[in-house]
Copies of this chain bind each other. A is one copy, B any other.
Amino acid sequence: MKDLEDRIERAKDGLLEELRDFLRMPSVSASSEDPEGFRACAEWVREKLEAAGAQAEIMETAGHPVVYAEVGSGEKTLLLYGHYDVQPPDPLELWKTEPFEPTVRDGTLYARGVADDKGDVMARIQALRLYTERHGEPPFRLKFLIEGEEEVGSPNLDAFVRENSDRLTADACLWEGSLRDRTGRPEVYCGTKGLAYVELRAKGPDHDLHSMFGGLAPNPAWRLVGALRTIKDERGEITLDGLHELADPPSESDLAALEAIPFDESSLKASWGVESFDRDLTGVDALREYLLAPTANIAGIQSGYTGEGSKTIVPSEAFVKLDFRLVSGQSPDAVVKLLREHLDRRGFTDVEVVDLHGVEAAKTPVDSPVVEQAVAAWDDVGREAVVYPTIGGSGPTALFATGLGIPTVMTGAVANIDSRIHSPNESVRLDDYFETLAYFVRFFERFGR
């Protein structure tokens, strides 16, 4: 197997220079300052895909364009999702070197986007080139979908996927976004949680009143406390009618995967500055809650006077922002409906439920072929991967995993837990980058078998 590593070793300088060219382009999707430069970045990616032997094109959306490419032929199809846009580099003064002048220090490459997600995109394109050099055109259909709006919430991806669902069919999808843990082990994520983000709003008097009327005037903050206490019980367990019933129960394999995750509780608690987890959860119970259970999180709450000292009023309004992270089976629309019914049933018909944002959960079984291949390919490069049945966060993976029914896995970790994604001095270790490049070649080899 060593021939691949040798080949990469010999080509390193050129591969790195190519990545650095990609990183020099400030493709900040949140900025409208340089639309031509942004489009030039998409065109650059398209050309690189063409040069690697793919048929590549720019596909328009209502926002920034998608770069789409196909190569190879055969019965099976592999879809790769990534993005060429990056976060804004601010605050600039915290960067040790220019964010768009990629710089190597101590074997680490620093640049905006190197960890999220240009390193990943470049490694996959270079892997296709190396694969083709070794084996010719892939004996399977390989599709690249590289969007330009991930960092602004993929506002047009849903429409794009729906309009192009015929083209996007695949047997498996590799997503971006995985990491290496602190010991260097690559993590493979088999799903993301869903999200129902709502605001509950209560109204009291039509203007703030003197609190001499506190026993008589309806208080909207107390009203919200009343509603919230029906959503979690005294022990902190979620008591939203019907929520747990919607959930697909975790499989035996999910539970077995949990047991195999090295979970450093004390480091996590120390990094948060807390003595214990919520409800004093520990060990596998804590992991199960984190990865396989829904949440009902208060992300924000406000009512009345919140300045210094004491102002005596009955507030006129109150609101709370709640985000429910959801597991497979718990569709956000269904959960918002449950919440409305739950509150109505208890007399809180006056409490408004505003549906702010919803994301479907995505779940690929941990014993799916694509997960097995992802793990085996890490084995091929000498790494023992850690498999997460899902992660705690949410993302657009459901557009493919749930919407198109494509088994989807987040793998290919150029980044590590210290890569400072979205922050100044974003970085990737060069050894990790080249190992991940080899990993994608190995994955293609396995997928082609």
- Residue ranges of A at the interface with B (Cβ–Cβ < 8 Å): 193, 195, 197, 204-207, 209-219, 221-222, 225-226, 228-229, 232, 234, 236, 272-274, 276-278, 281, 286, 289-290, 293-306, 309-315, 318-321, 323, 325, 356-357, 391-394
A303 and B301 form a contact (CB under 8 A): yes
Q: Are A212 and B391 in contact (CB under 8 A)?
A: yes
Q: Is the CB of B299 within 8 A of A302?
A: no
Please tell me if the beta carbons of B315 and A278 are within 8 angstroms of each other in the complex: no
A-B contact pairs, 30 of them (CB 8 A): A193-B212, A197-B310, A204-B274, A205-B272, A206-B273, A206-B274, A211-B299, A211-B323, A212-B392, A212-B394, A213-B272, A213-B392, A215-B295, A216-B281, A219-B278, A221-B320, A225-B225, A297-B312, A297-B314, A298-B303, A298-B315, A299-B312, A300-B303, A300-B304, A301-B301, A301-B306, A302-B302, A309-B357, A310-B323, A310-B357
Contact status B277-A217, CB under 8 Å: yes
Beta-carbon contact of A272 and B209 below 8 Å = yes
Q: Tell me the minimal C-beta distance from A419 to chain B in angstroms.
A: 15
Contact A289/B215 with A209-B272, A314-B297 known, Cβ cut-off 8 Å: yes
| New A-B pairs, 20, CB < 8 Å, besides A216-B278, A299-B310 | A213-B392, A214-B296, A214-B392, A215-B278, A215-B290, A215-B294, A216-B277, A217-B277, A219-B298, A225-B228, A225-B298, A226-B236, A297-B312, A299-B311, A299-B313, A300-B304, A301-B303, A301-B304, A309-B357, A310-B357
Closest 9 pairs (CB-CB, A-B): A206-B273, A214-B297, A212-B392, A300-B304, A214-B295, A212-B393, A221-B298, A205-B272, A300-B305
Looking across the interface, which residue of chain B has its beta carbon closest to that of A230?
Answer: B234
Report how far A65 CA is from B45 CA in the complex, Å. 79
**Cβ–Cβ < 8 Å partners of A197 in chain B:** 310, 312
- The residue from B195, B303, B309 contacting A356, defined by CB atoms under 8 A apart: B309
A301 surroundings in chain B (CB, below 8 A): 221, 301-304, 306, 318
The CA of A290 and the CA of B212, in the complex, are separated in Å by 8
Q: From A325, which residue of chain B is reached at the shortest CB distance?
A: B214
In the complex, what residue of chain B is closest to A198 when comparing beta carbons? B310
Nearest B-chain residue to A357, judged by Cβ = B310
Give CA–CA (A312, B304) in the complex, Å.
23
Minimum Cβ distance to chain B for residue A202 (Å): 11
CB pair B216–A290 under 8 Å, yes or no, is yes
Task: Kindly identify which residue among B209, B222, B296 contacts A232, using a CB–CB cutoff of 8 Å.
Answer: B222
What is the chain B residue whose CB lies nearest that of A208? B299
Q: Which of B210, B218, B278, B310 contacts A217 (CB 8 A)?
A: B278
**Cα distance A234–B310 when bound, in Å?**
26
Task: Determine the distance from Cα of A225 to Cα of B200 in the docked complex, in whole angstroms.
Answer: 14
